Structure 1
Amino acid sequence: MAVKRGRGVAAVNYPTGMNLGGDPTQALVHATPTGHFVLSMSSVDVGQGMKSILAQIAAETLGVPTDHVWVDTADTDTGPHCTGTFASRGTHRAGNAVIAAAREARQVLLEVAADKLEVSADDLVTDGQGMIHIKGAPAKAISIAEAAGAAQFEYGRTVAGRGIFLVDRSFPDPVTGKMKPATCYTHACTIAEVEVDTDTGEVTVLDLKNVFEIGRALNPAMVKQQLVGGNHMGVAHALYETTEPYYPDRAHGGRDFNEYVLPGPGDVVPAEFVVLERPASDGPFGGKGPGEMCANPQIPAIANAIFDAIGVRIDEMPMTPERVLRAILAAEGA
């Protein structure tokens, strides 16, 4: 048996969201009489933690603890419009919409509080813990819960806000075709080290080193979780998972998830992660988000490592032992 070792590198430059059509997302925020806030969105959380991030963004803007914000994404028919949860756009597009909506709602609270404290609304700040106080005089304060209650029961005002984020349209230059397809980009680089058994075609990934630039990490723990999960998905796409076409015909395909080939706990690859924070000028608090990119660079890095090991390029996914062995035999003229 001959086992050869190789190393490969791959870099990714990934756009955030889309350009055509403005790529809009809307948000609605309103206060309850208890000083809690309901954030209504159609930006669906598909497991990446979007609801937590949007609650953080709303709370930071409103000046309340995060657990004072309830995120409602119950129905895309009745909720405010969102283009969708795809194109790595969730944090950037929805986050900006949430900031706009929360600022509008916060302004109503400041105006009510200003009347109660007999000062100008411009002289007030929120402390992030649910209080509104005069700048430089924390003792002269009113709670957001009290201001919300007064707005609704004394002043007849609705503490609510509407927000939308829309991307300026970029048209291609008629001569060069140059345009701006996205407002910001995330970046990643992966180095993979593999062993290839030239008798069986089996590939073993020994190590993955990943560097991700994602803007500001609004929730570092969730960023790490998404990168770890994405890394495992990248390995799965590279070596295990397949949809269509099955070889040699569809009858050979898995009929359910019991037959669908996935890496198990014993196939988890040792991996390292480095997060670089370079805040986006147009992102919510500088955020862009890992998005789909977290599962991308591992695939070409593994392919390049296989090439480095055996000198044969595999250009089909997944890079199964059969495909690797066929490529080796073809290169040898068998």
Structure 2
Amino acid sequence: MARHEGRGMASVNYPIGMNLGGDPSQALIHSNPDGKFTVALSAIDLGQGMKQVSRQIAAETLGVPIEDVYVDTADSDTGPHDMGSFASRGTHRMGNAIIVAAREARGVLLEAAAEELEVNASDLVTDGRGNIHVRGAPAKTITVKATAQAAQFKQGKTIAGRGIFLIPLSAVDAETGEMNPNTAFAHACLVADVAVDDETGEVEVLRMTSAYELGRVINPRMVEQQLVGGAWMGISHALYETPEPYYPNPEHGPRDFNEYLMPGPGEMCANPVLPAVANAVYNAVGVRVDELPITPEKILRGIKANGGVKPGPRRGGPVNWR
């Protein structure tokens, strides 16, 4: 028996959203009399943290505390139109729609405050803590709550905003119909270090090193959590997840997700793990598995078919055990 170490690499260019009809997202924002703001969306939070990111974007654009913003993922029959929560489009598409809506609502908010303070709206700034004051004269101030009440009960104004975000349509080749269906991309590279047991065929993932280019990160903590969770999901997909050998008869299979071999969540961050692990196994023992999951049985059959273990060259030095 011997353990063979291998290293595999994979890179990903991940498309965001689509280009069908401009891939529109819409957002509506309005203020309540207590100075709190509601953001209405039709796209839903699937656990990817869209509500939190939407609150951050709205609060920053409005200039109010984040705790004063509530995000309502309304029923699609009553909420503003949206193409949906898929293709990692939420932050980019919905976030930009929220910015447009929040800017409009902020304009009405400052106009109402200007009327109460008897100044020009262009002279007003928000402090992000629920106050509006004259630029350079912080003593001349009014709260967002007082402004919202004055707007609704005194001035007859609705502090609200509408926003839509569209992607410029791709040019279409008249002869071939070719077009670019995507308009934004994220990029990633991942290196997996594994050890493969040539007697049992078992694979142990020793280490994963990854780099992601995501543009501006709205919530670093959530991104970090998704990268870690996505890596676990990728390992699960690469090495464990399968209904075999019981499919379609589940009698001897897992009864619920507590028994199902699926260690984590993720989307783009799960994708490069699969080819990287497959490349690492090939580098370790010379077996190219092209059907997931990479089970011990498949590795042992591959070793037998190859006439033994045939490890590839290693670059980058020994694996760092942890």
Q: TM-score, normalised by structure 2?
A: 0.89
Q: Give the Cα–Cα distance (whole angstroms) in 1 for the partners of residues 128 and 207 of structure 2.
A: 42
Secondary structure of the structure 2 residue equivalent to 1:250: coil
Superposed, 1:1-334 pairs within 5 Å as 1-174=1-174, 179-242=179-242, 246-247=244-245, 250-251=248-249, 254=253, 256-257=255-256, 261-263=260-262, 292-332=267-307
Please say if residues 192 and 208 of structure 1, whose CA atoms lie closer than 8 Å, have aligned partners that are also in contact: yes
Given the superposition, is the C-alpha separation of residues 249 and 140 from structure 1 closer, same or farther in structure 2, using an over 3 Å criterion?
Answer: closer
**Structure 1 runs not aligned, ≥5 long:** 269-290
Q: Hey, what's the Cα distance between the residues in 2 that align with 1:4 and 1:171?
A: 51
> Take 1:260 and 1:15, find their aligned partners in 2: how far apart are those partners?
33
Residue 82 of structure 1 aligns to a residue in which SS? coil
Deviations 1:256-282 (A, max 9, x none): 326964155xxx9xxxxxxxxxxxxxx
- Contact kept in structure 2, 1:123 and 1:135, CA below 8 Å: yes
Contiguous gaps of at least 5 residues in structure 2: 309-322
Contact 2:237 2:262 in 1 (8 A): no
Q: 1:279 aligns to what?
A: none
CA distance in structure 2 between the aligned counterparts of 1:135 and 1:143, rounded to whole angstroms: 15
* Matches of 1:233 and 1:44, distance apart in 2: 22
Give the equivalent residue in structure 1 for 2:319: none
Cα distance in structure 2, aligned partners of 1:238 and 1:255: 18
1:241–1:260 CA contact under 8 A, matched in 2: no
**CA deviation digits over 1:99-139, x for unaligned, max 9?**
11111111111111111222221222212111112222222
Cα displacement (A) at 1:240: 0.8
Counterpart-to-counterpart distance in 2, 1:211 and 1:258: 30
Contact 2:254 2:260 in 1 (8 A): no
Superposition RMSD in Å: 2.1
Q: Partners of 2:172 and 2:234 in 1: how far apart?
A: 33
Q: How far apart are 1:55 and its partner, in Å? A: 0.4
| CA distance in structure 2 between the partners assigned to 1:90 and 1:24 by the alignment | 11
1:52 maps to a residue whose letter is Q
Deviation at 1:255, TM superposition (A): 6.2
How big is the shift at 1:171? Answer: 3.0
Sequence identity (%) = 59
Provide Cα deviations, 1:136-155, integer angstroms capped at 9, x if missing partner.
Answer: 22222211111111110001
Deviation at 1:177, TM superposition (A): 6.4
SS at match of 2:106: helix
Cα distance in structure 2, aligned partners of 1:258 and 1:118: 62
Q: Secondary structure at the match of 1:227?
A: helix
Which residue pairs with 1:280 in the alignment? none
What is the letter of the counterpart of residue 255 of structure 2?
D
- What letter is aligned with 2:226? Q
Quickly say closer, same or farther: Cα 1:173–1:132, change in 2 above 3 A: same
- Contact 2:234–2:273, Cα closer than 8 Å, also in 1: yes
Q: Is the 8 A contact 1:240 1:261 kept in 2?
A: no
Work out the number of aligned pairs and report it: 306
TM-score by length of 1: 0.86
State the alpha-carbon separation in 2 of the partners of residues 122 and 179 from structure 1.
Answer: 43
Does the C-alpha gap of structure 1 residues 111 and 193 become closer, same or farther in structure 2, counting only changes over 3 Å?
same
- CA contact 1:25–1:81 (8 Å) conserved in 2: yes
Structure 1 residues 174 and 199: CA distance shift in structure 2, 3 A: farther
Residue 313 (structure 2) aligns with = none
Preserved contact between residue 113 and residue 147 of structure 2 (Cα < 8 Å): yes
Q: CA deviation at 1:220?
A: 1.0
1:249 Cα shift?
5.4
Measured at CA, do residues 248 and 151 of structure 1 come closer, stay the same or move farther in structure 2, by a change above 3 Å?
A: closer
Note the C-alpha offset of 1:175. 5.5
Given that 2:43 and 2:73 are in contact with CA atoms closer than 8 Å, whether structure 1 keeps it comes out as yes
